[in-house]
DNA sequence: GCTAATTCCTACTATATTTCTCGGCCTTTA
DNA sequence: TAAAGGCCGAGAAATATAGTAGGAATTAGC
């Protein structure tokens, strides 16, 4: 049950954009270098993010990408969904409708997967890019304090 | 972030064994037929489960497999781990040690994945095969009551 | 002891998915 | 008008998944 690089790289790229929110566009080359991701590959990921309206592009020289809304309004879940499709450990719990499986035994497994799905979504949809920025700041300060005492 | 058939089939097979716990061994052919899984493929999955000590085999004619302990003592997490390896959405949170990433930005993403991992494990390790059997029974009873009123 | 049922084992294959590359066109700023 | 940078589609390479094939070893029952 691994997340592919799409989701991982994508989140890192979006985090990079969040860190520089309000400072003008960041180019793919720039993001790719900072996060150590293949440029062309990242291009495709960002295209998917753009399609879902999470980023806006500015074309031409000195162009690049910016978040389409403030970091606090972008959930990690939005990013993962944009890049990996619906969040669901198995197909049969993808949609939230009440379709029941034909066989009870399968349904019981389904109950487990449903719980897993809900718990994943709970985490991803209660964490925003802003939270991640705050977290980073916290870590930075802790490190600083640590250095002080050396 | 999908679970492969290994985990899905494996859980269904184990559930099948749980349903028949105490009734003697169930052959692969039997399980495969009941759960509609390729025999040879299931064989490989069960081999992995056996290696991890979750099932015991009885060789020869009339042989098959039985759970190595009672359904209440087998967590869904045990099964998934046996078939898919460590439960972790990304590599860097696989082990519970305190290895910190060299780059802070990655670490922040890591914090998110760590939370996801913990929430998945929480669900999978608090659900046993017995729970699934009880769940099935509950569903069965509900259906029965429903039929009664028609 | 023979036969049928069944586990056990190793290898192989086909397909799908993921990850990344290539090359070129279009847009905008300096 | 040149350089920076987004946009786009095809496809290559690597890896993982899902399954196949075939046969050896073991045991119950006759």
- Per-residue pLDDT, B145: 85
Token digits of residue A88: 């669901």
Tell me which residues from 97 to 116 on chain B have a beta carbon below 7 angstroms from nucleic acid strand C: none
Which residue of chain B has the CA closest to A142? B104
- Per-residue pLDDT, B38: 96
CA dihedral A82, A84, A89, A90 (to 10 degrees): 100
What's the Cα-to-Cα distance from B68 to each of A149, B124, B150, rounded to whole Å? 54, 19, 42
Which residue of chain B has the CA closest to A93? B2
Token digits of residue A107: 């349904």
Q: What CATH number has the domain bearing residue B11?
A: 1.10.10.10
Instruction: Taking residues A66-92, report their average pLDDT.
Output: 96
pLDDT surpasses 70 at A105: no
Q: How far is A90 from chain B (nearest CA, A)?
A: 6
In chain A, which residues touch B (CB < 8 A)? 1-4, 7-8, 11-12, 15-16, 19, 34-35, 76, 80, 84, 87-91, 104-109, 111-113, 115-116, 119-120, 122-124, 127, 132, 135-136, 139-140
Rounded distance, CA A26 to CA A31, Å? Answer: 7
Mark yes or no for CB contact A1/B136 under 8 Å.
no
Q: With cut-offs at 50, 70 and 90, classify the pLDDT of residue A99.
A: low
Q: With cut-offs at 50, 70 and 90, classify the pLDDT of residue A97.
A: low
Rounded distance, CA A117 to CA A105, Å? Answer: 19
In a domain, A150, yes or no: no
A104 or A3: which leads in pLDDT: A3
* B125, B75 contact by CB (below 8 A): yes
Q: Model-level pTM?
A: 0.93
- Per-residue pLDDT, A91: 83
CA dihedral B58, B59, B64, B65 (to 10 degrees): 40
Chain B residues closer than 8 Å to A120 by CB? 1, 116, 119-120
- Per-residue pLDDT, B78: 98
Name, in order, each residue with C-beta under 8 angstroms of B62's C-beta and a sequence gap of 6 or more: B25
Percent of chain A with pLDDT over 70: 93
Mean pLDDT of chain A: 92
A95 or A67: which leads in pLDDT: A67
Q: With cut-offs at 50, 70 and 90, classify the pLDDT of residue A67.
A: very high
Look at the alpha carbons of A106, A109, A111, A113 in this order and tell me if their dihedral is positive or negative. Answer: negative
Q: How far is A87 from chain B (nearest CA, A)?
A: 7
Nearest partner of B8 among B89, B80, B67, judged by Cα? B80
In a domain, B107, yes or no: yes
In a domain, A138, yes or no: yes
In a domain, B74, yes or no: yes
Which residue approaches C20 most closely, CA to C1'? A41
Percent of chain A with pLDDT over 90: 79
* B15, B75 contact by CB (below 8 A): no
pLDDT surpasses 60 at A100: no
* A79, A127 contact by CB (below 8 A): no
Find the domain containing A24 and state its range.
5-145
From the first residue on, what is the mean pLDDT of each consecutive set of 10 residues in chain B (150 residues)?
A: 95 97 98 95 98 98 98 98 95 69 71 96 98 94 82
- Per-residue pLDDT, B107: 82
- Per-residue pLDDT, B47: 98
Among all chains, which residue has been given the structure tokens 């890192």?
A12
- Per-residue pLDDT, B102: 60
Instruction: Give the burial class of B120: count Cβ atoms within 10 A of its Cβ; 0-12 exposed, 13-18 middle, 19 or more buried.
Output: buried
In a domain, A129, yes or no: yes
In a domain, A137, yes or no: yes
- Per-residue pLDDT, B95: 77
Domain count, chain B: 1
Rounded distance, CA B85 to CA B98, Å? Answer: 20
The pair phi, psi for residue A140, each rounded to 5°, is -60, -45
H/E run at residue B58 = strand B55-58
CB nearest to B2's CB, from A80, A90, A107: A90
Which residue of chain A has the CA closest to B16? A105
- DSSP 3-state assignment of B21? coil
Q: How far is B62 from chain A (nearest CA, A)?
A: 24
In a domain, B150, yes or no: no
The pair phi, psi for residue A65, each rounded to 5°, is -125, 150
Rounded distance, CA A79 to CA A61, Å? Answer: 27
């Amino acid at each position: 049950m691994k997340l592919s690089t799409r989701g991982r790289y994508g989140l890192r790229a979006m985090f990079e954009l969040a860190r520089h929110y309000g400072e003008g566009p960041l180019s793919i080359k720039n993001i790719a270098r900072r996060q150590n991701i293949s440029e062309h590959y990242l291009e495709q990921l960002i295209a998917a993010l753009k399609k879902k309206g999470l980023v806006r592009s500015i074309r031409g020289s000195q162009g690049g990408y910016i978040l389409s809304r403030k970091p606090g309004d972008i959930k990690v879940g939005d990013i993962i969904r944009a890049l990996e499709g619906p969040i669901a450990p198995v197909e049969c719990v993808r949609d939230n409708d009440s379709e029941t499986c034909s066989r009870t035994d399968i349904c019981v497994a389904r109950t487990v997967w449903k719980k897993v799905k809900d718990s994943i979504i709970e985490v991803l949809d209660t964490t925003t890019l802003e939270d991640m920025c705050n977290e980073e700041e916290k870590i930075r300060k802790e490190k600083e304090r640590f250095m002080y005492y050396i």
